[in-house]
Structure 1
């Protein structure tokens, strides 16, 4: 029977491979296209964030780093935990951005956000800069309060290598408030955009039913397929995010390093990073066409 750690390593490996494939595909697409779509750039950024996030979370990787690198243990802990938290924040921000872009894309000309429809590509780099600046600054306290495990009793264990040292209650509440406000804002924006997309899909379905009653059989539009994909991603993210909060609360209540709780928390916390590229790949006709061509070529070569 596989242990939770082995399951987690398998999950992370699948996620890294699929995100790397998605990242390379969109890098090639952006390079070929003189005016890449905002969704392509955003998906590329999301895949990169998830690759780094899964790499930093791998127990086997962190263990090798802690044993092989000739850096002080405190420095290793600070870099590892800081990068991990920044990537998780960027995952939330980028998923939110993907949902907002889709809302702008499907919005009619009368909608107030439609003015950004043809200009959003010009703002995408500025948006990423703001996301990185926000997450690098809001998680900066990790650099100060993260330490390597020691015999001190006033530490909150994160894993078998690193802990958080005790801090002033006022400072702790301040950082927690900032982090919670940031997450609530982006998750709330996701929910609002999801509600708009549900309304759009319902309206589109009513029009399709009307055409169907008149014996017209319309195909599913690319906008509708893209909207369904983003809506699925956002819904799945919100569910996994809520489960991750529950598991983090359990870990905080225990107040000590528990390998089982930690492994389950990481499984839940990284499900979205593993599943999202599979959803994006399966819903992209360009990628499906390439994979189908590769399968056809392989079948021809094997039949000879």
Structure 2
């Protein structure tokens, strides 16, 4: 199997994955929006999940746009402007996904904390300052990704051989070594910080859930119809999300960092990087759907209605 056929196969897998991810995240976005409109049924986490779904939709759409430039042919924009906009939005959405996932993890950790821990007082602080927190996330990621606007160019408009191709028609022009190190350090520090906080919060939640499970284990053991406890389901959900998040984002970081630092281009490697990067955006939506009892109940009702007909 040659490189071209391998690229085509992986590209088809990527488009299929992105289509599923966009559909699932769109369902989640509308579900959380409708839930937020019903104040009596909404949760604070619905607002966070709503933002997360929106970021994932935009990230998946711009990722597909990289491989399907004809999608934007109807827009009367120059190719350079298309590349700058698509690549910039994709990078910013990736950063916002990291920040929002971390924030969701921290908020959940504070929510399930015992009243004696002293962490519950931060719950109202986070609620009251949600606008400022998201504004900070936007400012952080818009500024850290600003170099994309300057150095992204359309490959068809230039003849330099020192370009780093990020898609079939977009490239990064050579950067000054100092600028490259500065932005690489900033983005890496952001990822390390937020992933570290997320891992710490997740580990804290897992410890709390296992402690609660031990205390109530005798109650579950006396049940005539034993079933998976809510604590165990929550633990499995947390572990699955954290594991998927860490693996995909660090594999993506290794691939994209090596390409930028070595300034080399491999079409197969880049399409694999995009495939790996979007795994979390797709899996996250299905994990959220499968762990939300409100959605499961709605799906059960719809299934019963279909069976009647």
Give the alignment partner of residue 287 of structure 1, picking from 287, 295, 303.
295
Tell me what 2:24 maps to.
Answer: 18
SS at match of 1:117: helix
The more displaced of 176-185 and 163-172 is 163-172
Tell me what 1:240 maps to.
Answer: 248
Tell me what 1:106 maps to.
Answer: 112
Preserved contact between residue 93 and residue 186 of structure 1 (Cα < 8 Å): yes
Give the alignment partner of residue 63 of structure 1, picking from 65, 69, 74.
69
Give the alignment partner of residue 274 of structure 2, picking from 258, 266, 269.
266
SS at match of 1:33: coil
Tell me what 1:139 maps to.
Answer: 145
CA 1:245–1:81 in 2, change beyond 3 Å: closer, same or farther? same
Give the alignment partner of residue 84 of structure 1, picking from 80, 87, 90.
90
The CA distance in 1 between the partners of 2:88 and 2:66, in whole Å, is 18
SS at match of 1:266: helix
* Backbone CA RMSD of aligned residues: 2.3
The CA distance in 2 between the partners of 1:174 and 1:251, in whole Å, is 16
Tell me what 2:212 maps to.
Answer: 204
Tell me what 1:192 maps to.
Answer: 200
Q: CA deviation at 1:165?
A: 1.3
Q: Give 5+ residue unaligned stretches, structure 1.
A: none
Q: CA deviation at 1:36?
A: 3.7
The more displaced of 159-168 and 8-17 is 159-168
The CA distance in 2 between the partners of 1:69 and 1:151, in whole Å, is 24
Preserved contact between residue 148 and residue 162 of structure 1 (Cα < 8 Å): yes
Tell me what 1:255 maps to.
Answer: 263
1:52 counterpart = 2:58: yes
SS at match of 2:161: coil
Preserved contact between residue 102 and residue 227 of structure 1 (Cα < 8 Å): no
Give the alignment partner of residue 172 of structure 1, picking from 153, 176, 180.
180
CA 1:211–1:107 in 2, change beyond 3 Å: closer, same or farther? same
The CA distance in 1 between the partners of 2:271 and 2:69, in whole Å, is 15
Q: Give 5+ residue unaligned stretches, structure 2.
A: none
Preserved contact between residue 67 and residue 168 of structure 2 (Cα < 8 Å): no
1:276 counterpart = 2:284: yes
Q: CA deviation at 1:46?
A: 0.6
Instruction: Provide the TM-score with structure 2 as the length reference.
Output: 0.89
How many residues of Structure 1 are paired with residues of Structure 2 in the alignment? 300
Deviations 1:186-216 (A, max 9, x none): 0000111111012112212211334456x36
CA 1:225–1:30 in 2, change beyond 3 Å: closer, same or farther? farther
SS at match of 1:147: strand
